[in-house]
């Protein structure tokens, strides 16, 4: 009986952590992008928030496996869009100034936040 209760708690904890991790990663990604624009490069944010492809695949699969709504997946979409844009700029280069690239990141953030709020309100009704 105690083992069953412990498994249930562990399952709830896992689901809770899987729901929160994309939000934290998106916040760290936004913070890292903003601070980088102002010339403040914190390596710790890159270690914490920069996610490679394999953990993102795991988070996507876990979100489908546990039946998360599209509201929770929007944070993962934001991370992927941000990473693709940053990687493309780093390796190939985007012919824009730093302020224009920063504004593109802010516009993407605004659009994704609007969609997150919309999907959150839609899931409440």
pTM, two decimals, is: 0.85
d(CA 72, CA 19): 7
Q: How does pLDDT run across 37-89, given as a tens digit for each residue? A: 898 888 888 787 777 778 888 999 999 988 888 888 999 999 999 888 988 98
Q: Please give the sequence-ordered ranges of beta strands (E in DSSP) within 9-123, or none if there are none.
A: none
Q: How does pLDDT run across 71-85, given as a tens digit for each residue? A: 889 999 999 998 889
Of the pLDDT bands very low, low, confident and very high (cuts 50, 70, 90), residue 92 is very high
DSSP 90: H
pLDDT at 43: 83
**CA 25, chain centre distance (Å):** 5
């Amino acid at each position: 009986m105690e083992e069953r209760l412990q498994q249930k708690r562990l399952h709830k904890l896992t689901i809770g952590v899987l729901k929160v991790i994309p939000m934290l990663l998106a916040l760290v990604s936004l913070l890292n992008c903003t601070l980088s624009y102002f010339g403040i490069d914190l390596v710790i944010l890159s270690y914490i928030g920069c996610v490679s492809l394999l953990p993102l695949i795991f988070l996507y699969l876990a979100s489908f496996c546990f039946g998360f709504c599209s509201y929770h997946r929007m944070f993962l979409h934001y991370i992927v869009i941000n990473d693709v844009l940053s990687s493309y700029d780093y390796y190939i280069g985007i012919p824009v100034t730093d302020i224009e690239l920063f504004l593109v990141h802010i516009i993407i953030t605004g659009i994704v936040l609007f969609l997150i709020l919309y999907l959150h309100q839609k899931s409440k009704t």
